């Protein structure tokens, strides 16, 4: 008895949301994440007869998504990073357990993560969001495990420095 490979539609239905979440973590922007995911799925669809026969379909698609993000040539001309509109509670600035402090912390984390080069950001997302080992990240990015460790070290050092800058300016970062 031969087990049939999943169809492309089945794969997208089961893994599409996870791919979009990964793309969102990499890009920091919902619309760019949707574009990135769509571009990758178009590429994978063209090769589906070969891809569906692989033992690690998810690993292949994840690698394609990360590599596409790292090499993506579309950049915002102004360099601005769009952020979601603050919630009503955050706008009101009410004290207490209204979640505004947590929202501000998340917003600051997104801003700091967005300052990293694409490859460093990809390493941190794959390590801390996808929970991949250095060896697995190296396979996804097509580099050595030592390069992964050095990229992660540089990214974390940059984030630590940025956090110190934020703390020194009282929570307001002046660029």
Helix locations, 47-141, DSSP H: 48-51, 57-71, 88-92, 100-114, 118-124, 134-141
Question: What pLDDT was estimated at residue 61?
Answer: 94
Distance CA 68, CA 62 (A): 10
**The listed CATH number (1.10.10, 1.10.1740, 3.30.420, 1.20.140) that belongs to domain 8-71:** 1.10.1740
Q: Within 13 A of 31's CA, how many CA atoms are on the CB side? A: 7
What is the fold, at CATH topology level, of the domain defined by 100-168?
Answer: Arc Repressor Mutant, subunit A (1.10.10)
Band the pLDDT of 137: cuts 50, 70, 90: very high
Q: What is the model's pLDDT at position 65?
A: 94
Q: What is the pLDDT of residue 172?
A: 52
**pTM, full prediction:** 0.63
């Amino acid at each position: 008895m031969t087990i049939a490979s999943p169809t492309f539609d089945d794969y997208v239905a089961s893994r599409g949301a996870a791919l979009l979440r990964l793309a969102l973590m990499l890009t920091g922007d919902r619309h760019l994440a949707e574009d990135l995911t769509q571009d990758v799925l178009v590429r994978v669809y063209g090769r589906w007869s070969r891809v569906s026969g692989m033992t690690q379909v998810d690993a292949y698609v994840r690698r394609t998504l990360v590599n596409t993000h790292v090499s993506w040539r579309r950049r915002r001309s102004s360099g601005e990073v769009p952020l979601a509109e603050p919630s009503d509670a955050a706008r009101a600035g009410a004290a207490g357990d209204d979640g505004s402090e947590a929202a501000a912390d998340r917003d600051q984390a997104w801003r700091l993560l967005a300052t990293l080069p694409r490859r460093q950001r990809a390493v941190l997302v794959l390590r801390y969001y996808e929970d991949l080992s250095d060896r697995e990240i190296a396979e996804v990015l097509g580099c050595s495990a030592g390069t992964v460790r050095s990229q992660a070290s540089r990214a974390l050092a940059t984030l630590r420095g940025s956090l110190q800058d934020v703390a020194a300016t009282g929570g307001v970062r002046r660029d």
